[in-house]
Structure 1
Amino acid sequence: MSATKSGCKQRSETECVYGWITDLCSKQSRLLAMLELCERRSHIESLGPLLWHSFGAVSGLLQEVVSIYPAILANELNGQQSQRICAAIGLFQAMTSHPFIGIELMRCQFLCYLMPLLKLTPQTRSVEHVRLSVLSVVCGLLKSDHPQIVGYFLGTELIPLILRQLELGSSMSKVLCAFVLCRILEHEVGLTFASRRLARRLHLIHTLARVVHQLTLEPEPRVLKHVVRVYSRLADHPESLQLIFNHLPAQLRNGYFCQDSLLGFENASLELADLNRKLVNRDVKNDTGINSITTEIVISHHSLF
């Protein structure tokens, strides 16, 4: 090999990785390092632990996240900003995919730095890439099924942000948001939390009803699948069951979505039948006065969680 060749050609692959991780400490060299590491993250063994245990790496990535806050306040994001922040989030995702490091990052409250990114409302490509990157991190953590993770998310503003994106986001954002909501409610602590207050239950159930209405106009079976499972899970809680009976959209009662070949939700007929069976067999102990109470409560889009 010629002595004039420079850069990674003169170094082993491992030395290149170490060099890029070191470059995360410098703002000038950070973008290139983040892009190189992100491109190779699926092929670099133990990238998550390497980043977590490297001096200054996590700090450098957090600086990238914080530097985007002025753009969040202005509710706009350009392509270059989106590229930088998505690269940083991608490396966080590499860390959260490791069971131990994901829990440690959660205990460090690092997700509080990412939550503001979900408040961006423009439906531009740049913003959507950021939104999907953050949701991917959340989904990755929830897939681990660690008991502390759901409890942690319930103490943040995640659920109100998820409900907002579930109603207003793009198709892929809605798929991820519906998955997140479903995973949280699968846990008993999540179901209890969502069903604890009447205003909270109504906010959730009315949002789901609006999403179902949207699905009749723009069908997305993957969203429908998780929405039906959320309804079915909420129906397992006695204080939510009667509200669902009163407010379940007609499309989920009359077989509107019961198609034999609904790609992405092949079991639609079975799961909708199971949901309606729960409603038919409900225990009507506290039925009196529910309708009159619900009509007097105004549902706000502000956080009820």
Structure 2
Amino acid sequence: MSAPNMDCEQRSDIERVYGWIANLCNKETRFWAMLELCERRSHIDSLGLLLWHSFGAVSGLLQEIVSIYPAIYQDIELTGQHSHRICTAIGLIQAMASHPFIGIQLIRCQFMCYLMPLLKMTSQTRTVEHVRLSVLGVICGLLKSDHPEIVAYFLGTELIPLILRQLELGTTMSKVLCAFVLYRTLEHEVGLKFASRRLSRRLHLIHTLARVVHQLTLEPEPRVLKHVVRIYSRLADHPQSLELILKLLPAQIRNGYFCQEGLAGFESASLELADLNRKLVTKHEKKDKANDDTMPEKH
């Protein structure tokens, strides 16, 4: 194919993309435009930037998000078509959230306040689950940027309680994403301090983890187990959380129940579980020694 023809095709592709973005402003044309853009988002360079800087595009996506609120607050059943439409809109929001610059802008303009209510839906139907996974995908994308401001923002929302509920009661894929979100949050010092600051928070978190471990003995899921082990290890870095873990750590974590060779999805299970137990023993011994050193001598 000659160079002029290639240039013409590229210009034509670019014009189509711009046309679809412009159609996001119109409710009548928005769904098909979202489908076209979502289908090609991995092939469109800087789609997130284009959406963010295009007049009316973000507003159009926001209208789609708000349209699901009656299903949340009035207990209206979510149809498959409505779920598909919302998930497509969220998919384009994820394209923006995955961009380092746009992701932090979404946080600063409080855009996530419109997505967080979608995690409050308790139904486990397929239509609701698709929406829930889409929202969790946006949150995972934001946390992958490793920006402390993003973590601090989520700590000021209801995210952690909502994540813990889904970690215990959700579907397998919800649990995988929720475990990742929790681990990424605790990786940051501000997240660890937040989770460990109050006794009620520590108890809620550690009791939930224990129940999840029990579920994993009945229905093994290595991807969830991997993050749970790493969450325990991270919590052990905080003295007050360490104290509770030493008291409430499930026996299955201590006794090597999950130490299988070549556990698909968590191949390093044996190594990481052994490291966790060594870490707990070491910190416990240091804690006891520190207590002994501070005790007054008897004469």
1:224-278, Cα deviation, whole Å (9 max, x unpaired): 0000100010011000111001101110011100111211111111211122122
Q: Which runs of structure 2 are paired with 1:81-92 in the superposition (5 Å)?
A: 81-92=82-93
Is 2:21–2:33's contact at 8 Å kept on the other side of the alignment? yes
Q: How far, CA to CA, are the matches of 2:125 and 2:189 in structure 1?
A: 37
Structure 1 position 188 matched with structure 2 position 172? no
Please show how residues 1-305 of structure 1 align to structure 2 within 5 Å: 12-73=12-73, 74=75, 76-281=77-282, 282=284, 283-284=287-288
CA RMSD of aligned residues (A): 1.5
What stretches of structure 2 of length at least 5 have no aligned partner? 1-8, 292-299
Secondary structure (helix, strand or coil) at the match of 2:25 reads coil
Aligned partners of 1:226, 1:84: CA distance in 2, in Å? 31
Q: Partner amino acid for 2:28?
A: Q
Instruction: Give the letter aligned to residue 159 of structure 2.
Output: L
Once the two structures are TM-superposed, the CA of residue 75 in structure 1 deviates from its matched residue by 5.7
Q: 8 Å contact 1:166–1:177 — kept in the other structure?
A: yes
Shift of 1:76: 3.0
Higher relative contact order at CA 8 Å, sep ≥6: structure 1 or structure 2? 1
Q: Aligned equivalents of 2:77 and 2:105: distance in 1? A: 31
Instruction: Indicate if the aligned counterparts of 1:75 and 1:120 stay in contact, CA closer than 8 A.
Output: no
Identity of aligned residues (%): 80
CA distance in 1 between partners of 2:182 and 2:215 (Å): 18
SS in 2 for 1:145: coil
**Residues 190-240 of structure 1: CA distance to partner in whole angstroms, max 9, x if unpaired?**
101100000000000000000000000100001000001000100110001
Q: Is the 8 A contact 1:194 1:200 kept in 2?
A: yes
Output the CA distance in 1 between the equivalents of 2:110 and 2:229: 32
Q: For structure 1, which runs of at least 5 residues remain unmatched after alignment? A: 1-8, 287-305
User: What is the total number of aligned residue pairs between the two structures?
Assistant: 278
Deviation above 3 Å: which 4+ runs of structure 1? none
CA–CA separation in structure 2 for the residues paired with 1:13 and 1:128? 34
Shift of 1:46: 1.3
Alignment check: 8 A CA contact 1:75 1:122 kept = no
Q: 1:272 to 1:159 in 2, by over 3 A?
A: same
CA distance in 2, matches of 1:30, 1:70: 20
Quote how far apart the aligned CAs of 1:144 are. Answer: 0.7
TM-score with structure 1 setting the length: 0.88
SS in 1 for 2:275: helix
Match of 1:106, as an amino acid?
Answer: I
Summarize deviations over 1:15-41 as a string: whole Å, max 9, x none. 111111111111111111111110011
Contact 1:75 1:121 in 2 (8 A): no
Would you say the 8 A contact 2:48–2:95 is kept in 1?
A: yes
Give yes or no for contact 1:76–1:120 (8 Å, CA) kept in 2: no
Secondary structure in 2 matching 1:76: coil
Contact 1:150 / 1:190 at 8 angstroms: preserved in 2? yes
| 2:6 alignment partner in structure 1 | none
Amino acid of the residue matched to residue 178 of structure 1?
Answer: A
The structure carrying a bigger helix percent of its residues is 2
Q: Distance in 1 between matches of 2:154 and 2:213?
A: 25
Moved more, 148-157 or 69-78: 69-78
- SS of aligned partner of 1:16: helix
Q: Report the TM-score when normalising by structure 2.
A: 0.90
- Over 3 Å counting, the alpha-carbon distance change for 1:123 and 1:276 in structure 2 is same
- The one-letter code matched in structure 2 to 1:35 is L
What amino acid sits opposite 2:29 in the alignment?
S
